[in-house]
Amino acid sequence: MYKLLLVSDQKDILDAYEGITNWEFNGFRKPHIRHDLEGAKQSLQIHHADGIIINLKNGEEKDLLRYLRANYPLLPICEAGSTPEEAMQYLGELRSLLNWLHADFSSDNYDEQKMMIRARRHFFRGLVSGKKKLTEKELYRKMRLIRSRMDPEKPCILLDLEQDSAEGEMADFIPDTDHLLERELFHSMGGDFQGFHVLPLVTKEGEVFILAGTLRGQEQPENVQGLVDQCVREGMHHAEEYRGLHLRMKSSRILPSIYALCTDYQG
């Protein structure tokens, strides 16, 4: 059974979760409940939590989110529903993520951080390729759930790369069903760069995208598109020189926010 912490000072939220009776049937224990930032901190220090549900007055919620980023960067944050039905919908999304995080994908030792990284890549792969259709509200909710450090409201850069036909070593990566190319590209060009998180993404069909999203709390440098393009070009050169991976940049565009990839985005 997954363990939860509910942090809210809103009566409708507390009433919604009090109205849920089938916790164990849905894979959860009834949550610990706290009503403020200090109570949440105390609970997290004493009790294990697999997920946290938050709905506080704006100031305290922001403080709690900062505390979680600093101390519990892998703890999934679940949206708080205002009715039992809505709460169960969001808990279903949390349960799916937790099942993924605890799934046995290989014979390697379980590593929660690695599993969360896989979950994030799976999510963003579907988003940038257009296979995952989300509204702005759904995107915000799910980026919090998987603890993405990218700010969906800030500008991002999306690059589309193309693979040359290849023989030998490169042929093992196409169509990249095991995401070998994706991992190789992350070693060459991924990670934090100039206030952005650069994330290479490769679909099963062999499409190659680079999503560079603004990190939360970071200021954007001038000529951000040129900086990210240069970072990616250097990564492409590194991948070619050391792994024989031949890539070309098809397009590079700056988007006003990650929300621009959503179905209901209106600018």
Alpha helices in 161-210 (DSSP H): 180-189
pLDDT given for residue 209 in this prediction? 95
| Residue 226, in any domain of the structure | yes
User: Which residues make beta-bridge pairs with 213?
Assistant: 156, 197
pLDDT given for residue 107 in this prediction? 53
Q: How confident is the model at residue 19 (pLDDT cuts 50, 70, 90)?
A: very high
How much of the chain, in percent, has pLDDT values that exceed 90?
66
Torsions phi, psi of 216, nearest 5?
-60, 135
Tokens of 119: 């979950």
Residue that finishes a domain, picked among 34, 68, 103 = 103
User: Among 200, 211, 77, which residue's Cα sits nearest to residue 140?
Assistant: 77
For the segment 63-94, what is each residue's pLDDT rounded down to a tens digit? Answer: 999 999 999 999 999 999 999 999 999 999 99
Could you tell me if 94 and 159 lie in one domain?
Answer: no
What is the pTM (predicted TM-score) of this model?
Answer: 0.89
| Residue 262, in any domain of the structure | no
Could you tell me if 77 and 171 lie in one domain?
Answer: no
**Which DSSP string do the residues of 126-176 spell out, in sequence order?**
HHHHT-S---HHHHHHHHHHTT--B-TTS-EEEEEEEEPP--TTGGGGSS-
Could you tell me if 166 and 247 lie in one domain?
Answer: yes
Task: Provide the strand spans (E) within the chain.
Answer: 4-8, 32-34, 51-55, 77-79, 156-163, 191-193, 196-202, 208-214, 247-255
| Residue 160, in any domain of the structure | yes
| Residue 265, in any domain of the structure | no
Could you tell me if 97 and 162 lie in one domain?
Answer: no
Computed on alpha carbons and rounded to an integer, the radius of gyration of the chain in Å comes to 20
User: Which residues make beta-bridge pairs with 158?
Assistant: 211, 253
Q: Is the pLDDT of residue 12 over 80?
A: yes
User: What CATH number is associated with residue 36?
Assistant: 3.40.50.2300
Could you tell me if 157 and 85 lie in one domain?
Answer: no
Q: Count structural domains, the chain.
A: 2
pLDDT given for residue 243 in this prediction? 75
SS (H, E, C) 208-243: EEEEEEEECCCCCCCCHHHHHHHHHHHHHHHHHHHH
User: What CATH number is associated with residue 183?
Assistant: 3.30.70
**Cβ atoms of 35 and 8 closer than 8 Å:** yes
Could you tell me if 97 and 18 lie in one domain?
Answer: yes
What is the length of the chain?
A: 267
Containing domain of residue 99, as a range? 4-103
The whole-chain average pLDDT of the chain stands at 89
| Residue 138, in any domain of the structure | no
| Residue 76, in any domain of the structure | yes
By three-state DSSP, how is residue 109 classified? coil
Residue that finishes a domain, picked among 72, 103, 134 = 103
| Residue 119, in any domain of the structure | no
pLDDT given for residue 175 in this prediction? 57
User: Which residues make beta-bridge pairs with 215?
Assistant: 150
Could you tell me if 192 and 97 lie in one domain?
Answer: no
Could you tell me if 244 and 170 lie in one domain?
Answer: yes
| Residue 134, in any domain of the structure | no
